[in-house]
Structure 1
Amino acid sequence: MRIITLNANGIRSAERKGFFQWLHQQNAEIVCIQETKAQFYQLNPELFCPKGYHCFYHDAQKKGYSGVALYSKKQPDKIIRGIGWPDIDAEGRFIEAQFNKLSVISLYLPSGTSGEDRQAIKFKFMDRFLPYLHECAQSGRDYIICGDWNIAHKEIDLKNWRGNQKNSGFLPEERAWLTQLFTTNHWLDAFRLINQEAEQYTWWSNRGQAWKKNVGWRIDYQIISASLKDKVRAVSIYKNERFSDHAPLIMDYDYELESSVDDASIKAPEL
């Protein structure tokens, strides 16, 4: 089961840069997109619902902002748009697809880089999200939470870690929150189960030739429940083409996707 996650930084922009042509060759079972920056009605289904996929979108109320999507070759048993928190759901940051015992989530965690107000919103989200994840971990379901978490966990996860210790995305409180998640709530950073190498980044600033020099951050994850620890088979970050300021994170799992829904036909994308 191959799952790809990408912060598209505008799904229409990613389409113009060839993302969907590339995706067609990847044989992914599930694709998670963040930061679609579009309203569903603005998108041509022929372009923005890849052939062979069931497509689901959760837009932000504000035009040109945030938004998540999830594409699946198999029809999910259930789609959940939003986490149930009105302030977060208004920004289109969460969509979940359920397949029998497995839940796959496309998540766009708030960023705090634009100022103290947004950092406070980010911390508020984190405070609520940890208990939510604890409940998920105790539910008996398998989880794969894909997306832009907007936090680099350890020094190995960004190039200029010394100069970023007071910046959003690498604050001590944010890093400690991820450590708590991984050590006490039975969640795992699937990428690091396979790849322990340095300079493995998924996002690069558009300033200072960061992409060319590989001065990046690893802030995109597939975070999995402990039950899937032995199911991760391969990981990669695709950098041969650039569809966004983020790169696609590709992971393969030894897991058979199951659904109780009749999968005879692919429907139009759903909002």
Structure 2
Amino acid sequence: MRVVSISVNGLEKAIADGFFKWLAKQDADVVCVQDHRAKAADFDDPRFIPEGYEAYFIDAENPADGGVGVYTRQFPKAIMYGFAYEPADREGRYIQADFDDVSVASVLVPSALEAPERQADKDAFMEAFMQHLQKTVRKRRQYIICGNFQTVHLVTDASPRYHKLEVSGFLPHERDWMDEIFETLGYTDAFRYINKEGNQYTWWPSVLSGSRRHAGWRTDYQILTPGIRKTIENAYIDPDTRFCDHAPVVVDYDIGN
């Protein structure tokens, strides 16, 4: 089972810039997208759906807040829109597709990097989502949660040029939140399970660095409940794509749908 996660920074523009052409070569079973910036009615248009896939999306009241979605080759058993946290549900920040063997979710954490006044909103989301993760890890069902977490976990996930900056996405309490996910709750960072090397980034913040030629951050993850950790076969980031300002995270799992 191949799962792709990508924060598209506007789905319509990403498609125009080659997203679906790239996707056609990936043979992905499930594709989680974040930050689509569209309304639900837009997805009735076939141009938003790649050939061979079903599409499920949740939108935000204000399209600028993002919205998330899932493309899947197989019909899911169920779709869950939101995770019972009203601000996140209103902003279209979580969607989950349930299959026979696993559930796959797409999540978009709020950003406060360019809007420090939104740090309180981000912190509140993180607290609510932690509660959701605590409940999820206790279930018998296994989960792959894909998303743009707007946060760097380890110092190796960001260029040294950012290590002394006090900016949202690299604040101590945000990184402690990531520690709790992986160390206390026992979730697995699928990419890091395979790849321990440095300089593995998924986003190059223009507000800090200017362009992708400069150092970046790894803010995009696929996190797993403990029961499927050993099913990870391969994981990589494709930094050569240019259809949006994030790079896709691709993970292969030895599990069915």
Deviation at 1:43, TM superposition (A): 4.5
SS of corresponding position for 2:51? coil
Q: Distance in 2 between matches of 1:8 and 1:94?
A: 15
Q: Distance in 1 between matches of 2:142 and 2:123?
A: 26
Q: What residue is the counterpart of 1:20 in the other structure?
A: 20
Q: Distance in 2 between matches of 1:241 and 1:102?
A: 28
Deviation at 1:216, TM superposition (A): 0.5
Deviation at 1:88, TM superposition (A): 1.1
8 Å contact from structure 1 (residues 29, 74) kept in 2: yes
Q: Distance in 1 between matches of 2:42 and 2:103?
A: 28
Q: Distance in 2 between matches of 1:115 and 1:209?
A: 17
Q: What residue is the counterpart of 2:205 in the other structure?
A: 205
Deviation at 1:228, TM superposition (A): 1.0
8 Å contact from structure 2 (residues 101, 255) kept in 1: no
Q: Distance in 1 between matches of 2:116 and 2:212?
A: 27
- With over 3 angstroms needed to count, the CA separation of the structure-2 counterparts of 1:232 and 1:7, relative to structure 1, is same
Alignment of 1:174-189 (within 5 A): 174-189=174-189
Q: What residue is the counterpart of 1:269 in the other structure?
A: none
Q: After alignment, is 5-14 or 109-118 more displaced? A: 109-118
8 Å contact from structure 2 (residues 43, 49) kept in 1: no
Task: Determine if the alignment matches structure 1 residue 53 to structure 2 residue 53.
Answer: yes
Q: Distance in 2 between matches of 1:62 and 1:221?
A: 25
Deviations 1:40-88 (A, max 9, x none): 3234632211111110010001134311110010100000111112211
Amino acid at match of 2:163: R
Q: Distance in 2 between matches of 1:63 and 1:181?
A: 29
Moved beyond 6 Å, runs of 4+: none
Give the TM-score normalised by the residue count of structure 2: 0.95
8 Å contact from structure 1 (residues 106, 147) kept in 2: yes
Q: What residue is the counterpart of 2:153 in the other structure?
A: 153
- With over 3 angstroms needed to count, the CA separation of the structure-2 counterparts of 1:181 and 1:241, relative to structure 1, is closer
Matched length: 255
8 Å contact from structure 1 (residues 78, 99) kept in 2: yes
Q: Percent of counterpart pairs with the same letter?
A: 37
Q: Runs of 5+ in structure 2 lacking a partner?
A: none
Q: Distance in 1 between matches of 2:79 and 2:167?
A: 35
Deviation at 1:195, TM superposition (A): 0.1
SS of corresponding position for 1:204? coil
SS of corresponding position for 1:210? coil
8 Å contact from structure 1 (residues 56, 71) kept in 2: yes
Amino acid at match of 1:88: A
Deviations 1:140-192 (A, max 9, x none): 1101000100110011001123232x110010001011111111112111111
8 Å contact from structure 1 (residues 210, 216) kept in 2: no
Q: Distance in 1 between matches of 2:181 and 2:44?
A: 39
Q: Distance in 2 between matches of 1:115 and 1:59?
A: 21
RMSD: 1.4
Deviations 1:227-251 (A, max 9, x none): 1110111111112221111011111
Q: What residue is the counterpart of 2:62 in the other structure?
A: 62
Q: Distance in 2 between matches of 1:201 and 1:103?
A: 26
Give the TM-score normalised by the residue count of structure 1: 0.90
Amino acid at match of 1:34: Q
Q: Runs of 5+ in structure 1 lacking a partner?
A: 258-271
Q: Distance in 2 between matches of 1:245 and 1:151?
A: 16
Q: What residue is the counterpart of 1:267 in the other structure?
A: none
Q: Distance in 1 between matches of 2:50 and 2:7?
A: 17
- With over 3 angstroms needed to count, the CA separation of the structure-2 counterparts of 1:134 and 1:63, relative to structure 1, is closer
8 Å contact from structure 1 (residues 109, 150) kept in 2: yes
8 Å contact from structure 1 (residues 36, 65) kept in 2: no
8 Å contact from structure 1 (residues 59, 68) kept in 2: yes
Q: What residue is the counterpart of 2:218 in the other structure?
A: 218
Amino acid at match of 2:129: F
Q: Distance in 2 between matches of 1:148 and 1:84?
A: 19
Amino acid at match of 2:173: E
